[in-house]
């Protein structure tokens, strides 16, 4: 029969303490002990290092203590404790990654989150503080057998406590998401391109009215887009350059793109906007994948018509699928980020769908929601820490 013992070493961190512990446990292994798990955390120079050791009947708790005594571990304020442990039924089941994000995460918010975890008969195995600015972000590794109840309970808490949250299956696949597809207007960009073009054409009020009718369900996106573009008839193509110069990237957009490129991810943009405006901008940002609508231009003037198939809600999802095939990754290894109803199919199809400052109907279809104004917060849902983001 096997037995398990938990060895906990704690106190002011010092050079070599880990080597001393594992040297002692290596000595124990010669007598039949086996190292089965290790965890460590250091906060403000205070160390907690835990090792689980499994032994057979002829190796007991006193033998574990004797092995530790062969090394000079307990000094300079550091102490080691050995205790017998038994399997915890709550530790059974699969792991989920729970990412919490808010301008500041207080103890009361964590209390509610951990209450939901306990209420689902789950346990938290690890906590990592991914970022302290410009937002606060924690990643939890949670183990439990009833993932459906756990997801539901955590989602309720997140909404009630004002915390953005992503809940994902744990595993290497999370770091393997190689394609990140973003909407342009009000996601990658702070602006709506069609509104800026309408200002250039002197028809801003009419375009706003058509947009409102579309949002009210009186027009589908394709028809509303045709009507809005028709109002641009006669606009000189030079206005496209002026609009492009006015576009403002969302805070964190450059950081997001720079980090994705450095870590080997492929960024892409799928937009209901226009290639003629977006393509030069994205070329400057080193984004090679773009799907958007095309304006018809004849003799340097907009005709008020579109060329080719309209990129609508379904078209965005098809573009995601095509880009994934071109990059060579399954949809489970894609991320989609958007804010509008047109992004719902794309967000639903992706391995991780993120609603960025979106309306409730979009959040309902997303795996995660961000309500902070920083687009680079998407990186935390990929497990990328602020330290990694700022590494040159």
Give the CATH number for residue 161.
Answer: 3.30.70.260
The b-or-e profile of 353-362 (16+ CB within 10 A means b, else e) is bbbbbbeeeb
Tell whether 74 and 135 lie within a shared domain. Answer: no
DSSP letters spanning 1-63: --EEEEEEEEEE--TTHHHHHHHHHHHHHTTT-EEEEEEEEEETTEEEEEEEEEE-TTS-HHH
345 flagged as catalytic: no
User: What local confidence, expressed as pLDDT, does residue 286 receive?
Assistant: 97
How many domains are there within the chain? 3
383 and 306 housed in the same domain:
yes
More confident residue, 327 or 41: 327
Where in the sequence is the domain holding 214, given as residue range(s)?
Answer: 179-389
Co-location of 222 and 297 in the same domain: yes
The yes-or-no answer on residue 183 being catalytic is: yes
Residues 80 and 163 in one domain: no
Do 223 and 366 reside in the same domain of the chain?
yes
Question: Tens digit of pLDDT for each residue in 56-100?
Answer: 777 788 888 888 888 889 999 999 999 988 765 545 568 899 999
Query: Quick one: pLDDT at residue 88?
Result: 57
* One domain for residues 329 and 189: yes
Q: How confident is the model at residue 123 (pLDDT cuts 50, 70, 90)?
A: very high
Query: Looking at residue 85, what is its pLDDT?
Result: 82
At residue 92, the pLDDT reads: 54
The pLDDT score that the predictor gives to residue 89 is 53
Among 268, 247, 267, 271, which Cα is nearest to 342's? 271
Q: Are residues 103 and 53 in the same domain?
A: no
Q: Which of 13, 136, 183, 339 is catalytic?
A: 183
Residue in this structure with the two tokens 């080719």, named with its chain if needed? 308
Q: Output b/e per residue, 150-163; b: 16+ Cβ within 10 A.
A: bbebbeebbeebeb
CA torsion, ordered 17, 19, 23, 28, to nearest 10 deg:
60
Same domain for 37 and 56?
A: yes
Average pLDDT over residues 152-175: 86
Percentage of the residues of the chain whose pLDDT score is greater than 90? 74
Of 86, 121, 151, which marks where a domain is finished? 86
* pLDDT at position 104 over 90: yes
Q: Indicate which residue of 185, 345, 367, 376 is catalytic.
A: 185
In the structure, what pLDDT confidence band is assigned to residue 228 with cuts at 50, 70 and 90? very high
> Which among 46, 67, 86 is the end of a domain?
86
Lowest-confidence segment of 64-68, 77-81, 251-255, 325-329 by average pLDDT? 64-68
In this predicted model, what pLDDT tens digit does every residue of 365-380 receive, in sequence order?
999 999 999 999 999 9
> Are 230 and 160 found together in one domain?
no
Question: What is the pLDDT, as a whole number, of residue 198?
Answer: 97
Q: How far apart are CA 1 and CA 74, in angstroms?
A: 30
From 86, 107, 139, give the residue that closes a domain: 86
pLDDT of residue 72: 85
């Amino acid at each position: 029969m096997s037995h398990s013992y938990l060895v906990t070493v704690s106190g002011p961190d010092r050079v070599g303490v880990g080597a001393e512990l594992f040297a002692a446990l290596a000595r124990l292994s010669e007598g039949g002990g086996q190292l089965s798990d290790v965890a460590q955390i250091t906060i403000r120079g205070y160390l907690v290092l835990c090792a689980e050791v499994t032994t057979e009947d002829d190796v007991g708790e006193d033998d574990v203590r004797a092995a530790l005594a062969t090394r000079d571990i307990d000094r300079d304020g550091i102490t080691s404790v050995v205790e017998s442990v038994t399997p915890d039924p709550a530790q059974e089941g699969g792991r989920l990654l729970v990412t919490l994000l808010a301008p500041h995460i207080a103890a009361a918010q964590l209390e509610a989150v951990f209450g939901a975890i306990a209420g689902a008969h789950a346990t938290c195995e690890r906590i990592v503080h991914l970022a302290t600015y410009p937002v606060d972000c924690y990643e939890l590794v949670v183990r439990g057998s009833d993932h459906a109840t756990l997801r539901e309970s955590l989602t309720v808490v997140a909404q009630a406590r004002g915390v953005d949250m992503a809940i994902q299956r744990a595993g290497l696949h999370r770091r393997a998401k190689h394609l990140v597809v973003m909407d342009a207007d009000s996601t990658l960009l702070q602006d709506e391109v069609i509104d800026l073009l309408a200002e250039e054409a002197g028809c801003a009020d009419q375009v706003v009215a058509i947009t409102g009718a579309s949002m009210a369900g009186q027009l589908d996106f394709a028809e509303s887009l045709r009507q809005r573009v028709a109002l641009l008839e006669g606009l000189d193509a030079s206005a496209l350059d002026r609009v492009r110069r006015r576009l403002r990237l969302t805070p964190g957009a450059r950081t997001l793109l720079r980090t994705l490129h450095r870590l080997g991810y492929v960024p892409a943009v799928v937009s209901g906007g226009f290639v003629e405006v977006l393509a030069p901008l994205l070329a400057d940002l080193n984004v090679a994948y773009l799907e958007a609508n095309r304006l018809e231009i004849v003799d340097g003037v907009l005709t008020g018509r579109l060329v080719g198939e309209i990129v609508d809600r379904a078209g965005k999802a098809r573009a995601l699928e095509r880009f994934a095939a071109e990059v060579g990754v399954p949809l489970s290894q894609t991320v989609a980020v958007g804010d509008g109803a047109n992004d719902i199919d794309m967000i639903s199809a992706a391995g991780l769908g993120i609603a960025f400052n979106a309306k409730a109907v979009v959040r309902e279809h997303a795996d995660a929601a961000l309500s902070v104004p920083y687009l680079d917060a998407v990186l935390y849902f990929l497990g990328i820490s602020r330290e990694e983001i700022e590494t040159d």
